[in-house]
Amino acid sequence: MTDQELAALAVSSMERAYCPYSRFPVGAALECASGAVYTGCNVESAAYGSTICAERTALVKAVSEGERSFVRLAVAGQSEDCCWPCGACRQMLYEFAPQLRVLAVRRDGSYEEAALDGLLPHGFGAAHLGK
DSSP structure class, residue 78: S
Does residue 95 have an active-site annotation? no
Residues in a beta bridge with 96:
none
Residues in a beta bridge with 29:
39, 74
Within 8 A by CB and 6+ apart from 58, the residues are 28, 29, 30, 38, 39, 40, 73
d(CA 35, CA 22): 33
Helix H or strand E encompassing 15? none
- Which of 31, 44, 55, 67 is the catalytic position? 55
d(CA 38, CA 23): 23
Determine how many CB atoms are found less than 10 A away from the CB of residue 66: 9
Q: Which active-site residues does the annotation give?
A: 55
